[in-house]
Structure 1
Amino acid sequence: MKAREFEQKKAEQWREYDSQMQLLESPKKGQDLDAEQIPQMIRERCQELSIARHRMYGEAVCEFLNQQVIRGHKVLARSSGGFVEKTLHFFSQEFPQVMRREWKLHILCWLFFLIPLFGMWISIHYDLDWVRSILGSDGMAGMDSMYGKGEEANLDMRDETGANFMMFGHYVHNNIGIDFQIIAGGILAGVGSLFILLMNGLGIGGAMAYVIEYGDPVKFFTFVSGHAPYELTGMVVAGMAGMRIGLGLLNPGRMSRGRALLESGKRGLPLVYGAFILTFMAACVEGFWSAHSFTPWIKYTVGFVGWALLILYFVFAGRGKREA
């Protein structure tokens, strides 16, 4: 094939490539952009450049194709934006898309948390020893002091300067520490993550059951309702990240286990970010809202709204054609 014939055969593909590049390079990308075909089109230009050089089709053709390859490389390799843009992209698209993609792990982790939680709640009606074994005497005494019947809960001690921020720092340290443990448990083939979720379910379920049976449930639920959506979801998302790491070790495929661990870590990284962000949000609510004495219906409304917003966010965010 001569150079002229080569140019005539490829002319239509080059025009289509040029139009797609113009859409990508414009500030406002058009709706006609076929993003899925862009990498294939760039590979085709690379192959054509190699053929043109091998067959010595001339400087003009080789230089034209070289510029087209450079143009495509710039589009693929250019910066994805600054910190603000990347953060907005993560919240609006990447995180909810990953949550939907890992829906099986989402359900599994919730089950490992909720089944022991409700199991402890049910068990207290038959045998208090289960709750005693989980909480211990110190834990039950703590529940009595904070949520006991006929006594003021020792929660709203925020009159001192900086007390809200002090409690916020405490909750960040404590809850993110739990998330780290859950994620790190994924190294044990995911079993560690599930075990820590199960133990947290037992602990929270035992505390909830004890207060409902022997304390003042209104004090308990008005305190936890505001931050529970973010704290519990963050804990479950951390479990998903740990399980993703564990599954990479269990099923490395054709990769070495070290390489599989690295790849599964990359895949689970959005879940790690999401877990810490949700836990940070929970600490903000717990530190600056939960302990204040608003009426119960306001506290419960804030909690229900939090759950509803999380569900809507994970179900609908990032579903547009361009986002996908």
Structure 2
Amino acid sequence: MNRHEFENKNGSDWNKFELQLENSKGKKGTSDNHKLPSRFRKICYDLSLAQYRMFGQQICDRLNGLAIVGYRQIHRKRGAFGEGFLHFFLGTFPAAFRREWKLFMVVSFVFLGPFFAMWWSADKEIEWVQALLGAEAMSDIEGMYGKDANSVEYLRQEHGSNFMMFAHYINNNVGIDFRIFAGGIFFGIGTLFFLIYNGLYLGAVVGYVEYAGSPELLWKFVAGHSSFEILGMLVVGMAGLKIGFALLAPGQLTRGEALTRAGRGGLPLLIGGACMTSLAAV
């Protein structure tokens, strides 16, 4: 094959690759983005062939330029922070959640069972609720959700400013998430304990408000904030149980290897759950 035949045979491929690179620079995107790696390999092969057969400086320079730009395009860093953020919450996080949906069923049962049991018990034996909450917690609940209470004003008086309210909320709830996740290292027992305890405690809060406060104030808060907070806690619980189950049944892996693999798989759940919990504070 001479230079002319070589150029006629492969020129259309070079033009397509060059056009695709131009579109990528302009961030227009193309429907054949998946072809970029294979076209890049073809350019590299043609470049080596052109150099080996000495088809001329002009062809070699063109192919070399395409190879350099193609390499940068394929190995470029992910664009802006926003792009990575969207990729995580629209792709990585949902995919990790779907893979572990059975764990979601487990943590939901472990949390909601005690929650509804304690809520129900408030209507039968309020002493159980009072014993779990204690005098200080009941006083705080009455201050926020009493019949004539203003929860925002009460919290502002307690913490001094809106920012300090926000900081306290984040510190408390992210701290709970961390304990739930870290409890997985004890073969999942710690995760189960904190999920059960939080189910009992929140059920007691709801039951006490129904007994002595204004349920309407509580449910307004739940509708605006607690849905994200509780879902985030359950997602973090999924990550904790994933670690616990990996340690309980490592299979052919050592427990260290199983822990590492489960940690990588559970990291998107931990990050996603913590972000949901933080969103509840907004």
Q: TM-score, normalised by structure 1?
A: 0.65
Distance 1:8 1:248 in 2: 57
1:25-44 to 2 correspondence within 5 Å?
A: 25=25, 27-30=26-29, 32-44=30-42
Mapped contact 1:20–1:33 kept (Cα < 8 A) = no
Gap runs ≥5 in structure 2:
none
Match of 1:17 in 2: 17
Q: Tell whether 2:89 aligns with 1:95.
A: yes
- Structure with the greater alpha carbon radius of gyration: 2
Distance 1:44 1:256 in 2: 42
1:74-93 to 2 correspondence within 5 Å?
A: 74-81=72-79, 85-87=80-82, 89-90=84-85, 92-93=86-87
Could you give the per-residue CA deviations for residues 209-262 of structure 1, whole angstroms, max 9, x where no partner exists?
232234432343344443213322332333344455556667878877656655
Could you give the per-residue CA deviations for residues 241-297 of structure 1, whole angstroms, max 9, x where no partner exists?
44555566678788776566556545544444433333333233xxxxxxxxxxxxx
1:105-120 to 2 correspondence within 5 Å?
A: 105-120=103-118
Mapped contact 1:172–1:283 kept (Cα < 8 A) = yes
- Residue 29 of structure 1 and its aligned partner are, at CA, apart by 1.3
Distance 1:278 1:204 in 2: 18
Match of 2:153 in 1: 156
1:219-230 to 2 correspondence within 5 Å?
A: 219-230=217-228
Q: 2:52 is matched with which residue: 37, 56, 62? A: 56
Gap runs ≥5 in structure 1:
285-324
Match of 1:237 in 2: 235
Match of 2:179 in 1: 181
Match of 1:294 in 2: none
Q: 1:20 to 1:124 in 2, by over 3 A?
A: same
Mapped contact 2:93–2:268 kept (Cα < 8 A) = no
RMSD over aligned CA atoms reads 4.0
Distance 2:18 2:251 in 1: 39
Percent sequence identity is 39
Q: 1:272 to 1:145 in 2, by over 3 A?
A: same
Question: In structure 2, what residue type is equivalent to 1:29?
Answer: K
Mapped contact 1:95–1:271 kept (Cα < 8 A) = no
Distance 1:39 1:195 in 2: 49
Could you give the per-residue CA deviations for residues 153-184 of structure 1, whole angstroms, max 9, x where no partner exists?
77623369943333222212111211222232
Q: 1:99 to 1:106 in 2, by over 3 A?
A: farther
Mapped contact 1:109–1:197 kept (Cα < 8 A) = yes
Question: In structure 2, what residue type is equivalent to 1:77?
Answer: H
Q: TM-score, normalised by structure 2?
A: 0.72
- Residue 59 of structure 1 and its aligned partner are, at CA, apart by 6.6
